[in-house]
Structure 1
């Protein structure tokens, strides 16, 4: 059977490369593209080759101040916050159409910048972002309050209203840069907020395309502002700015904790979607033809650089050998390479820093007694000389207490453990033995056991017989314990950008 036709217009690539190298990407503040006040830029590299592919403006506190003030002026003027909800929805839908029309350029940029396979960048990035934005646009006309009957003496009319929280500082990670940026924008815009977006310094380029499309869609000036730069300068300034009313952050738990400390004095509203060490539990009665590829791609997809990656496998001892053999065979068979190659199924790690981090965890695991069943080393890839390619890796003899089992690796490394019976309490206790609680996966044909275990797992998301696929924008996304605060997506994700006001009238 021949492969499906490539949906991405790769003929755009030469012109895109030339344009990226011709001029640095600028900041987008108050509806205009501007250089950083300092004039500083930074290099952007292709993780598949290590080559410099462009430069981006390096925002600092002065630029963040201009962006936040532009967002604040727009919000206080009511040009966006008081716009008729249906009109806000129309502008958001126009942006979604522009994203879809530019999905090839977005995908090519995302693959150059992040390294992910081109098909993932197209469907999960550009097209996924367009659909997410359409979903959030629908909420513009559906936010509402409630009416109440107070028990006070007399006759009363009492009700609540939801109002936008104000200026939002949105900080997104490098693993799915474009779709995560659009999702944060979508929820905050639907609520009536204005936004300053800070993309990750490793992957700033697709956010600049987003800025171009925002300018074309017709948003009021200052509704959306985009500042590329580093976390320690631009990100810290955004978190600390007194005119920012809410921070929405996706990234590491360590950085999330620092944001909480920085927001303590001002009591800014904070939503955090942080790390995970998600368990995958395969029972003896599971459909292994589905469980094995589900578990494999739950950790090897996007080179394991996924917050909800299924990085801890618990498999019943009666099917252990078959499961590990199946996952190992998939690991050996995965085509690892440059994301621009249509054959590629897994790309590189995003940077040499991330590569060193992941291999450091592997060295630690081996020192503590783990064994490598497959993978474990750097790969030489055709067309990827100088890239950060790591072989998909399966570890055995891992146990609770090991650094590689306790901490988030954020790479294609699977830690495997077994259990001997169907004692749900024991299985849940092992799965819950982590500081995280973001996601989980259960594979079983016994739905009674599956639902009982789902109730016992301390995780914000539980998938039964469904792998570890990407989130649906209608389903709340977030975690228990140190996996974050609050929820993104769904009604809860939009309402997180609102404040509730109670109004009582003595009739």
Structure 2
């Protein structure tokens, strides 16, 4: 294995304030009740900033600002709204280095992922939906589709800025206004985005950002003057939101958890499949709702594939997220690390065989070595529950029918992967999988023109592509 000298990205490229307020009606303020919380760097446990926690009165003000802005914003011709979206996209590109460093500091993900994956996709989503803004009459939703009104959007901590783009871009393109609540552990890039909106001279009140914990989000989605709710996060919280909005007339889209099957057939190219498996479960520390956390490998090649997978895992570098050599960064929070550890211990107790490469972890921060479990059955909790960390459960199968049956034996239905040289097999198996996204001979590939979403406990509705417009149109 090669020894890599450190190649750190400078954190001085981004300026982090000691404290942040709420972004309401085009300006920042400190909130009405004065409550604050701290956001920390998960790699070092260093406090990055103090952030205002929005109370009910603050959420009321944000929704009122969005309501006032809705009339003028929705009345703009689509081509005029597009100009703002194009401007936001270009500013994101221009400031992408700042944003990438900020995202890695606040989230824990490797800089090469935030720099090379997250930020290009963020800009691409704003460019893509800017292109739709003056073409809504041709999107297939009627000759004169109308915006819904005020959209309440609650986003998770695993892809803070990308999830913001997935939600804000189509909402603005279709003429809606937004109140967005970022995750409590990763508020900084959303607050940076507020400054991007000001730089783009977006009219006041079109985008409002309220920070806080679950109580803030709960008040926002229950607010009587909200017309649309969009949530990405856990299935448990998604259920609670569905109960809250039931019977209110609010439109709702939910993108929830997953337990994706990555299916490798005996004719698959082993090395290519191993790269896809690694990307499927260890990308972003496994903090991915569509992660390929269940590996289903055909029995005849299981030993060969596992040997190759272990060799590849031994080359993964765990450490400083700002080091450009790092493959796996820090777990986002102490609470998430505790859950990963708990489920991993349960996997061992239930009889699965645990393996991790030799790996020295930093003394401070939240860290977990990349891990695989073999000898897993469908009865194991690690094969049924979403761990949301760098933990892979390996099961085997003999026939395509068995692979499909095992892949579908989950309450989730967000994504899946198929590895085979036979195009006919890809089509036949994909057609039987109950998953919103099925990748063939690749994994975790995203494009703003492609819809994304799930079935069953993975939620409903689609984000991205033409389908992503529908959620914001009456």
Q: Same fold (TM over 0.5)?
A: yes
Q: Secondary structure at the match of 1:124?
A: helix
In structure 1, C-alpha distance between the alignment counterparts of 2:3 and 2:378, rounded to whole Å? 45
2:340/2:387 contact within 8 Å kept:
yes
Shift of 1:146: 9.4
Task: Choose which of 64, 67, 82 in structure 2 pairs with 1:69.
Answer: 64
Q: In 2 relative to 1, CA 104–147 (structure 1 residues): closer, same or farther, beyond 3 Å? A: closer
CA-to-partner distance for each residue in 1:232-271, whole Å, 9 max, x for gaps?
x210110110110010100111110000001013131100
CA distance in 2 between partners of 1:258 and 1:147 (Å): 32
Question: Equivalences for 1:25-424 in 2 at 5 Å?
Answer: 25-75=20-70, 78-144=71-137, 160-231=143-214, 233-374=215-356, 380-381=360-361, 384-420=362-398, 422=399, 424=400
Please state if 1:460 is matched with 2:436.
yes
After TM superposition, give the deviation of residue 51 of structure 1 in Å. Answer: 1.4
Give the whole-Å Cα distance in 2 for the aligned partners of 1:440 and 1:69: 41
Deviations 1:173-226 (A, max 9, x none): 000101110221001111110000100001000111100010111211100001
* CA deviation after TM superposition for structure 1 residue 80, in Å: 0.9
**If you compute each CA radius of gyration, which structure gives the higher value, 1 or 2?**
1
Q: Secondary structure at the match of 2:203?
A: coil
Residue pair 1:348, 1:388 contacting (<8 A) in 2 also: yes
Among 412, 423, 434, which residue is 1:447 paired with? 423
TM-score normalised according to structure 2 size: 0.96
Return the offset for 1:39: 1.5
- SS for the counterpart of 1:169 is strand
Q: Is contact 1:24–1:41 with CA below 8 Å preserved after alignment?
A: no
Displacement of 1:161 in angstroms is: 2.6
Distance in 2 (alpha carbons) for counterparts of 1:320 and 1:190:
48
Post-superposition Cα deviations, 1:117-142, rounded to whole Å, max 9, x if no partner, equal 11111122222211111011111011
Q: For 1:472, which of 437, 447, 469 is the aligned residue?
A: 447
CA root-mean-square deviation: 2.0
Equivalent residues of 2:24, 2:209 under 8 A apart? yes
Cα displacement string for residues 139-177 of structure 1 (whole angstroms, at most 9, x for unaligned residues): 1011116999xxxxxxxxxx7531001100011100010
SS of residue matched to 2:402:
helix
Q: Secondary structure at the match of 1:44?
A: strand
Distance 1:433 1:284 in 2: 21
Task: Indicate if the aligned counterparts of 2:161 and 2:189 stay in contact, CA closer than 8 A.
Answer: yes
Give, in whole Å, the separation in 2 of the partners of 1:320 and 1:496: 42
* Alignment: residue pair count: 472
Which residue pairs with 2:407 in the alignment? 431
Distance 2:360 2:29 in 1: 40
Q: 1:122 to 1:85 in 2, by over 3 A?
A: same
Moved more, 362-371 or 139-148: 139-148
Do 2:13 and 2:97's aligned partners in 1 also have CA atoms closer than 8 Å?
Answer: no
In the alignment, is the contact (CA less than 8 A) between 1:332 and 1:392 conserved in 2?
no
Distance, in Å, in 2 between the alignment partners of 1:120 and 1:490 is: 23
* Structure 2: 5+ residue stretches without partners: none
Distance in 1 (alpha carbons) for counterparts of 2:26 and 2:386: 38
Q: Please give the alpha-carbon distance, in whole angstroms, between the structure 2 residues aligned to 1:106 and 1:325.
A: 38
Unaligned runs of 5+ in 1: 149-158, 500-507
CA distance in 1, matches of 2:297, 2:468: 34
| Equivalent position of 2:459 in the other structure | 484
In 1, Cα distance between equivalents of 2:416 and 2:450 = 15
- Report if the CA contact (8 A) 1:145-1:162 is conserved: no
Match of 1:414, SS?
Answer: strand
Relative distance call for 1:32 and 1:490 in structure 2 (3 A) is same
The alignment's TM-score, normalised by the length of structure 1, stands at 0.90
The Cα shift of 1:322 comes to 1.2
Cα distance in 1 for partners of 2:157, 2:445 equals 16
- Counterpart of 1:54 in 2: which secondary structure? strand
Q: What's the offset of the Cα at 1:446?
A: 1.1
The DSSP-based 3-state class of the residue aligned with 2:19 is coil
Displacement, 1:71? 0.2
**How far apart, CA to CA, are the structure 2 residues paired with 1:251 and 1:346?**
22
Cα offset for 1:274?
0.5
Residues 436/31 of structure 1: CA separation in 2 closer, same or farther (3 Å cut)? same
